Chain A
Amino acid sequence: IAGITQAPTSQILAAGRRMTLRCTQDMRHNAMYWYRQDLGLGLRLIHYSNTAGTTGKGEVPDGYSVSRANTDDFPLTLASAVPSQTSVYFCASSVAGESGEQFFGPGTRLTVL
C-alpha cells in the first residue's frame, strides 16, 4: 500500500441496509478524517480521530459511526442507509490533528436507493 486507500470504489445500496466503508493508511499518521462531498458543495466533516483509540464528531455525524482500533484503519459505518446519504465519501489522514496538510484517499461513490 502506498498512501491511503478506500474500499469499495463505488457501491449501490438499498435503503435500510448497513454498510461499512473501509479506509487504510500506511503513513503512520495520527489523525484521520471522513468527509462527504455532494455536488456543488464543499467537503463536510463527518467524524475524525486525532489518535488511535479516540474519535470525535464533525459537522454532519448523524447516521454514521466510526472506530479507530489501530493507527492504520478508520472504517465508517452507515447503520441504516437513507437516500440522503448518497454522496462521495473521502477518507483523509494527517500527521497530527493540527496539520493543515491532509492526504486524501480516492473516494467511495455511494448511491442509496
Chain B
Amino acid sequence: GQSLEQPSEVTAVEGAIVQINCTYQTSGFYGLSWYQQHDGGAPTFLSYNVLDGLEEKGRFSSFLSRSKGYSYLLLKELQMKDSASYLCAPMDSNYQLIWGAGTKLIIKP
C-alpha cells in the first residue's frame, strides 16, 4: 500500500529555523518533491530529491533517506511570508506524485 505522513501543523518564531518531517511508503519510488502552498493559492515547487542526502537552495534545504522512507524540509531565517502549507509528494512507480494534506506552518513574530 501507499502511505504518507506529515504533521498537520508546526509553529515557529520569525528568524528561527524549522524542520518539517515527512515519512512515506509507496509502490516504487523515483524521488520526492516539496511544494509550498499559501492559503487560497496554488502549490509552488520548492525541491525534488532523487538521491540520498541534503540539497540546499538558499534558505530552504531538503533531505532524503530512501532506505528509511524519510524526508524533511528545513527552513532557515524564517520570515512571516513563509507562513503557508508545505506539501511532501513522493513519486511512485507510475511517475505520479502522491499528495497528502501537508503541514501548516504558523510563524509568530
Contact = CB atoms under 8 A, between A and B. Distances in A.
B21 to A, nearest CB: 16
Interface string B31-66: 111000000011111001010000000000000000
Contact of B91 (A48, A100, A106): A100
B101 A97 contact: no
A68 interface: no
B99 interface: yes
Contact of A44 (B33, B87, B99): B99
Interface string A39-64: 01111110010000000001000000
Contacts of B95: 97-98
B30 A101 contact: no
A48 B96 CA distance: 9
Contacts of A101: 33, 45, 48
Contact of B97 (A40, A102, A106): A102
A100 B33 contact: yes
Interface residues of A, number: 21
A97 B91 CA distance: 11
Contacts of B44: 104
B96 A90 contact: no
Interface string B90-109: 01000111011110000000
Interface string A70-100: 0000000000000000000010000001111
A56 to B, nearest CB: 9
A8 B50 CA distance: 36
Nearest to B98: A42
A97 B92 CA distance: 12
Interface of A: 35, 40-45, 48, 58, 90, 97-107
Given A98-B30, A100-B91, 6 more contacts: A43-B43, A97-B95, A100-B31, A100-B48, A100-B97, A106-B42
